Amino acid sequence: MPEHEINPNRWIDKYSDYLFNYTITRVNDREMAQDLVQDTFFAGLKSMKNFKGEASERTWLVSILKRKIIDHYRRINSKKGKAEVRISYNSDAESEGDWLEERVADPFDKTAEDNLENSELGLAIHDCIDKLPEKQATVFKMKTLLGYETEAICNELNITPSNLWVIIHRARTMMAECLKKNWLE
Amino acid sequence: MKKSNKIFIPCEEANHNCDKSQYNEATLWEKIKLNIHLLYCRVCREYSKNNSKLTKIMKRKEVEIMPSSEKNSLKKAFQKELANHK
């Protein structure tokens, strides 16, 4: 019985910020990061059948993203005319170029990454946001990261200001608790 | 949330004022009442301290979020792709 299930319908809402944050610290170019994240989601869709459920969806998507980032650096490297390392990922030459989408399986480190505490602040924060109930996560993000006005959030989500502040309070309490050990001390 | 005109406020209101001040939405009077409360309430002082720290780290530049417009166009493109996989 697989521990984790795969359901691409919610991928963008659930993982795009985390993956974006992961990418931007590694490629330092917003547009490129955007493209790589999109590529990752598409590749994930293509290789969904290989998902065995041993790692969480996110870990699995990150493992695809890692390859995408490596690919990205290989690409700029070869553009510069530097030596390009060709690695053959499988013996049959026909599927060359397709190695990633068709072949990505569960990562070797399985759930290790799920349990590991993130050493990057951006990722640690998204980790904690992901642990919040959905409504709290939405409101907290809008208010804190997107900087929306209280009134704008209330209108969009159809809640009263006092609702909003109760939600914010719960979210902030949980966020502080979640980040406490590694980031707030 | 009920408001009192008294100088001494309950913890609940103190925390509410503290949350508001994290987004610069607390009035001067609310901030004064909060600070008076913090003088004698250790629990709220602890909450306040962590709350400000949270605000500070949320503002660090490593904390990125995908811009909404980009996210929406990604969503659209992804939905299209998803339909092909059904």
ipTM of this predicted structure? 0.86
With tokens 């996560």, the residue in question is A137
How many separate domains does chain B show? 1
- The DSSP output letter for A50 is G
Chain A and chain B share a number of CB contacts under 8 A equal to: 97
Q: Would you say residue B54 lies in a domain?
A: yes
Residue B25: inside a domain, yes or no?
yes
Could you tell me if residue A81 is left (phi over 0), alpha (psi between -120 and 50 degrees) or otherwise beta?
A: left
Show the domain range for B63: 11-85
Among A8, A41, A183, the residue with its CB nearest the CB of B57 is A183
Domain segments of chain A as ranges: 1-115, 117-185
Q: What is the pLDDT along chain A (185 residues), one digit of tens a residue?
A: 467 888 888 889 889 999 999 999 898 888 999 999 999 999 999 888 888 888 888 989 999 999 999 999 888 877 665 555 555 555 554 444 544 554 555 554 445 555 556 778 889 999 899 899 999 999 999 999 989 999 999 999 999 999 999 999 999 999 999 998 888 87
Judge whether B74 lies within some domain: yes
Residue among B19, B25, B65 minimizing CB distance to A145 = B65
Angle in degrees, 0-180, between the axes of helices B68-85 and A11-27, rounded to the nearest 10: 120
Q: Is A114 exposed, middle or buried (CB count within 10 Å of its CB: 0-12, 13-18, 19+)?
A: middle
Q: What is the CATH number of domain A117-185?
A: 1.10.10.10
B72 inside 8 A of chain A by CB: no
B57 — contact with chain A (CB < 8 Å)?
yes
